[in-house]
């Protein structure tokens, strides 16, 4: 499963790149607004830092407007993936973009039916939002299983990108189901490393190392 960061913060991206862990980045208008920086400045910096796919979101609601924004975004780099909302106008734009060879990510997906439509429109990625479903007492991960089954039934090539991730168990469940990608906030990525027994084990090994005579380091 590929690991993406869901952020507009370039310091976080730089750190994940340093760890050698980052396969791509997703952004959205909220995440870019949080940076307080101009959109194009942030987008260009992310594209310089990341070799893998970088999702940048359109904001028009009509197909013509989405297409205009998508073509502009695609000019920014070969690894740009244009994020388009799950609406009839959005899917009209996704169909055109896929025939133009522009990668797309259908966002704000909350049902298996919407994921089916995204795949029929030949989207490169579909983004089901698991956390926002859990927030309203629905089962986000159950949606991922259903999409996985539907895509398997018809051998759709659209990649399942698990989004709106809130904690490490979302990541683990996504991997167990066999999602293609999981995008997560930086604090969730950091938590993937953590286990109290690892910390305890390191402490013990370091203490015992002090007892070893003639240590070479």
Q: Where in 129-148 is the site for ligand E4P (CB under 6 A)? A: 129, 131-132
- Long-range CB contacts (within 8 A, 24+) of 38-42: 40/76, 42/8, 42/10
Compare residues 167 and 208 and give the one whose CB is closer to ligand E4P: 167
Q: Is 7 in the site for ligand E4P (CB under 6 A)?
A: no
Which residues are 106's β-sheet partners? 84, 126
Is 83 an active-site residue? yes
Please choose, out of 15-23, 35-43, 124-132, 139-147, the segment that lies near ligand E4P by the rule CB under 6 A: 124-132
| Of the candidate residues 107, 124, 158, 173, the single one contacting ligand E4P (CB under 6 A) | 107
Binding track, positions 168-187, relative to ligand E4P; x by CB under 6 A: ---------------x----
Please choose, out of 62-70, 90-98, 125-133, 140-148, the segment that lies near ligand E4P by the rule CB under 6 A: 125-133
| Of the candidate residues 32, 42, 63, 163, the single one contacting ligand E4P (CB under 6 A) | 163
Compare residues 129 and 156 and give the one whose CB is closer to ligand E4P: 129
| Of the candidate residues 9, 10, 22, 28, the single one contacting ligand E4P (CB under 6 A) | 28
Of 104, 79, 86, 198, the closest CA to residue 158 belongs to 104
The CA distance from 60 to 68, in Å, is 9
What is the size of the binding site for ligand E4P (CB under 6 A)?
A: 11
Are the C-beta atoms of residues 177 and 144 closer than 8 Å to each other? yes
Q: Is 125 in the site for ligand E4P (CB under 6 A)?
A: no
- Count of residues in the chain: 217
What is the rounded end-to-end Cα distance, in angstroms, of the chain?
37
3-state DSSP assignment of residue 47: helix
Q: Least distance in Å: CB of 131 to ligand E4P?
A: 5
Catalytic: which of 83, 120, 159, 211? 83
Which residues touch 31 (CB under 8 Å, ≥6 apart)? 6, 7, 8, 9
The CA distance from 187 to 12, in Å, is 9
Q: Is 9 in the site for ligand E4P (CB under 6 A)?
A: no
Are the C-beta atoms of residues 23 and 181 closer than 8 Å to each other? yes
Active site residues: 83
By CB under 6 A, name the binding residues for ligand E4P. 6, 26, 28, 107, 127, 129, 131-132, 163-164, 183
């Amino acid at each position: 499963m590929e690991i993406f960061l869901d952020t507009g913060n370039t310091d976080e991206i730089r750190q994940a790149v340093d760890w050698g862990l980052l396969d791509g980045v997703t952004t959205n208008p909220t995440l870019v607004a949080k940076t307080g920086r101009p959109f194009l400045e942030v987008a260009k910096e992310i594209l310089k830092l990341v070799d893998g796919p970088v999702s940048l979101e359109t904001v028009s609601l009509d197909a013509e407007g989405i297409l205009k924004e998508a073509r502009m975004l695609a000019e920014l780099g070969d690894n740009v993936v244009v994020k388009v909302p799950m609406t009839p106008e959005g899917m009209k734009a996704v169909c055109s973009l896929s025939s133009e060879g522009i990668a797309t990510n259908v966002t704000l997906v909350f049902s298996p039916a919407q994921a089916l439509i995204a795949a029929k429109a030949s989207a490169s990625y579909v983004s089901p939002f698991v956390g926002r479903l859990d927030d309203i007492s629905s089962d986000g991960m159950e949606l991922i299983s259903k999409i996985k089954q539907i895509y398997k039934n018809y051998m759709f090539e659209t990649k399942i990108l698990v989004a709106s991730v809130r904690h490490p168990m979302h990541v683990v469940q996504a991997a167990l189901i066999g999602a293609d990608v999981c995008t997560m906030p930086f604090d969730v990525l950091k938590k993937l490393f953590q286990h109290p027994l690892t910390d305890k084990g390191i402490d013990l090994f370091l203490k015992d190392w002090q007892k070893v005579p003639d240590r070479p380091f």
